[in-house]
Amino acid sequence: MKIGLFGGTFDPVHNAHLFVAEAARVELGLERMIFLPTRGSHYRSGPVASIEQRMAMLRGALASNPHFAIDETDLDASATGYSADLLPRVRARHPHDDLTFVVGGDSLVDSPWQRFDVVLANLDAFAIAPRAERAPERVDSLLATLAPGDREKLRVLDLPALNGSATLVRRQLARGGSIRYLVPEFVARYIAEHGLYRATPDALAHAD
Ligand code: ATP
């Protein structure tokens, strides 16, 4: 089976995540897109919402798409948050499937990728979605530095670059603005009911 993998903090999941996951799935002819929420991130301050809250929002947001699924491997207490540690575990469960990792262009350029060779060794393909706020030439120059064998697995998706991020959602909430149409209705409702991302000093620090 052709499967896509889409990792993230999802703090919270928003419409650009859903658009990228579905549009990548269609463009690449994937039968399933598996979301891989991560416990935290080692290269930036931790998520604002708890794992349970982020998972509840993700489950609600994905429910209407039968091609979407969630894998909780990266939520294990033992998870490091590094794709190089996660992907061998995912691969072990899908030994015969064709696995494509999907990331936004910023993930490739802005964050430190540990053991990128291990990441690629556990994948059949690595797809990059253009991201509006980030300069595409930086992705091109990074691709140019890869060994030819690795380069063959990478592909830039032919998708429109959408503005939209969890940071934008948190920032809107912190300033008392609307997030309607930035996130699915379920997520907006959940955030309102649980009073998430309000203008506490902590939320404002994360919103920068
Ligand atoms: P934050 O603003 O908190 O950094 P984020 O919106 O980037 O969060 P993540 O959960 O960190 O969300 O990202 C999950 C994946 O979705 C990453 O691969 C990221 O690059 C991608 N992504 C998020 N927003 C977009 C977007 N507007 N266009 C393309 N890819 C995106």
Q: Domain for residue 125, yes or no?
A: yes
Average of pLDDT values for 36-65? 89
Given a contact cutoff of 8 angstroms between Cβ atoms, the answer to whether 71 and 34 are in contact is: yes
Q: What is the pLDDT of residue 136?
A: 60
The number of folded domains in the chain is 1
The CA 137 to ligand 1 mean position distance, Å, reads: 18
pTM over 0.85: yes
Is residue 195 domain-resident?
A: no
Cβ atoms of residues 160 and 127 within 8 Å:
no
**Is 76 among the domain residues?**
yes
Residue 147 included in any domain: yes
Kindly state whether residue 132 falls inside one of the protein's structural domains.
yes
* Residue 140 banded pLDDT, cuts 50, 70, 90: confident
Per-residue pLDDT for 12 more than 50?
A: yes
Does 162 sit in the ligand 1 pocket, CB within 6 Å?
yes
How many degrees, rounded to 5, is the angle at CA 4 between CA 147 and CA 47?
90
Dist. CA 149 → ligand 1 center (Å): 27
CATH of the domain at 63: 3.40.50.620
Identify the residue with better confidence: 114 or 206: 114
Q: Is ligand 1 within 6 A of the CB of residue 166?
A: yes
User: 140 lies in a domain?
Assistant: yes
Is 130 a domain residue? Answer: yes
Instruction: Kindly state the average pLDDT of the residues 166-194.
Output: 97
- Cβ of 127 below 6 Å from ligand 1: no
Q: Which domain holds residue 151?
A: 2-163
User: Does 184 reside within a domain?
Assistant: no
